[in-house]
Amino acid sequence: MVSIQKKINFTFSPQQVVDCDPSNYGCNGGWPPYVLKYAKTQAIANNTKYPYTWDTYLFGVSGTCANLSGPYKVSTYTTTASSTTAANNCPALLRQVAKTPMVVVIAASNAFMYYSSGVLDISTCPANAINHAVYLVGVDNCNNWIIQNSWGVWWGINGFAKLAPNNTCNICRYGGTYTTML
């Protein structure tokens, strides 16, 4: 997460949310506004202090909640369905990510799981599924979406990937969610 007001870049621990947030379903999925609701009541550790846990096949696993508090809580969050970056509006999402990174949900596939370079295009995504949350951090000079995944630096290009412009992998389907941190 980024706090423009505090001029910090802070990576919340996805593993803490997987292990400790009862409103989501661990490795079986969740929804970004539920995670941010949890982050308003619980200080979240950073990814270094509470790292992602992997099994022998490099799939994430749910663990026992360590309840390690971090230095920051989310003070407010805006889901873009009720703000200027409405669902199914790629130009609005593009304008908003120019101001601040945000959480978005996408349709991830096997090609996504094993991504290591290049630009993922619409042919690599399931048709209408939404099954994964990522952090939308910007666009490149070709308007490819730049996302950060929670799976660590071993995935993609040091934890990042590029999706082709427009609604690739349904990135615009639900808009995005951005935060203000205390």
Note whether 171 and 93 are within 8 A (CB): yes
At 105, give phi and psi (nearest 5°). Answer: -110, 145
Helix (H) or strand (E) run with residue 97 in it: helix 90-97
- Of 132, 144, 167, 170, the catalytic one is 132
Can 170 be counted among the known catalytic residues? no
Q: Can you spell out the DSSP letters for 21-90?
A: -TTS-GGG---HHHHHHHHHHSPBPBTTTS---B-TTS-B----------SB-EEEEEEGGGSSS-TT-H
Helix (H) or strand (E) run with residue 112 in it: helix 110-113
- Of 24, 47, 144, 149, the catalytic one is 149
Can 28 be counted among the known catalytic residues? no
Instruction: Please tell me whether residue 14 adopts helix, strand or coil conformation.
Output: helix
Closest Cα partner for 130 from 78, 171, 85?
A: 171
DSSP label at residue 117? S
Catalytic sites, residue numbers: 132, 149
